[in-house]
């Protein structure tokens, strides 16, 4: 069975926005260390890891190493990627949730996060009230 190939040019989304903006596309490793702020503009932590669905390639969760006021002592907070909003002026992400919501959010150890099962994912999704990332 032969596979037909289209010779029509494909248009990809622009890799940059307005001149001077950060690139639209980047390697997941370049997201590591990106700061995240909550609804009142307070710093909550940095992206420690990005959880990607291996089959679809979709970013499902940002794993946030929280410092400062959360002081979670080696605990990581998975945030559904869908609640993150890119803030180009800061080259950071924002989450439109209150401080108290984040303080009570599910958190996990590095071992629990990286066990490969995402056993924590449903609890996190329900906590934030987000639809499954694949829908």
Q: Where are the domains of the chain?
A: 28-128
Q: Which CATH superfamily is domain 28-128 in?
A: PRC-barrel domain (2.30.30.240)
The strand pair at 92-95 and 35-37 is best described as parallel
Comparing C-alpha atoms, which of 97, 47, 93 is closest to residue 67?
Answer: 47
pLDDT tens by residue, the chain, 135 residues: 444 444 444 444 444 455 566 677 878 888 999 999 988 888 988 999 999 888 888 889 999 987 544 444 577 899 999 999 999 989 999 999 887 788 789 988 888 888 877 788 889 999 999 988 777
Rounded-to-integer distance, Cα 71 and Cα 49, Å: 18
What is the pLDDT, as a whole number, of residue 101?
85
Total-model pTM: 0.76
């Amino acid at each position: 069975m032969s596979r037909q190939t289209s010779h029509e040019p494909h248009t990809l989304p622009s890799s940059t926005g307005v001149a001077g903006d950060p690139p639209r596309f980047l390697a997941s490793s370049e997201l590591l260390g990106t700061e995240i702020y909550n609804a009142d503009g307070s710093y909550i932590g940095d992206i420690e890891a990005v959880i990607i669905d291996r089959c679809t390639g979709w970013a499902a969760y940002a794993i946030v190493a929280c410092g400062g006021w959360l002081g979670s002592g080696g605990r990581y907070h998975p945030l559904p990627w869908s609640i993150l909003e890119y803030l180009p002026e800061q080259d950071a992400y924002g989450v439109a949730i209150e401080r108290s919501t984040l303080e009570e959010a599910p958190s996990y150890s590095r071992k629990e996060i990286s066990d490969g099962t995402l056993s924590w994912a449903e609890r996190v999704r329900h906590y934030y009230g987000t639809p499954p990332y694949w829908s």
